[in-house]
Amino acid sequence: MSILKKYQVALELLDKDKIEECIHDDYAFTNYSQGKVFNKTEVVQWAMTGDVKREKIRILFENDEVGVEHAFVSFNDGNKQAVLAFYTFKDGKIHSVETGATNITK
């Protein structure tokens, strides 16, 4: 199973141990809309809140070095986005992710 597929399943199940297994200790998630970079601990904590619900997830490309994924994401506050994510991998884990998001009207 691919790294992104493992991560997708772990997020769907809210399986903290499996999410942590997928993410490198030196992980960085660059969130341009908030102007912040989140580390592994922060992202795992956020994932465990259940705030992010992803659907229609498509892995567009993945090899041993990088991955590209598209998904429709909804949040507990009612906001929805179409999200394109670019992942880098290191040691068989997700090392970094950057996203581009388009808001979807309610």
Give the pLDDT of residue 106. Answer: 72
Q: Answer whether 29's CB lies under 8 Å from 45's CB.
A: no
Give the pLDDT of residue 64. Answer: 96
DSSP letter (8 states) at residue 46: H
Q: Answer whether 88's CB lies under 8 Å from 95's CB.
A: yes
Token code pair at residue 60? 């567009």
pTM greater than the 0.85 cutoff: yes
Among residues 66, 22, 75, 68, the alpha carbon closest in space to that of 46 is found at: 75
Give 3-104's CATH code, choosing from 2.30.110.10, 3.10.450.50, 2.60.40.10, 3.40.50.300.
3.10.450.50
Segment 27-82, tens digit of pLDDT: 999 988 788 999 999 999 999 999 999 999 999 999 999 999 999 999 999 999 99
Give the pLDDT of residue 35. Answer: 87
Q: In what order do the strands lie in the sheet with 80-90?
A: 36-38, 23-31, 93-104, 80-90, 66-75, 52-62
Token code pair at residue 40? 């592994």
* 43-57 exposure pattern, b = at least 16 Cβ within 10 A, e = fewer: bbeebeeeeeeeeeb
Domain range summary for the chain, segments of one domain joined by + = 3-104
Q: Is the dihedral of CA 28, 71, 104, 86 positive or negative?
A: positive
Give the pLDDT of residue 104. Answer: 95
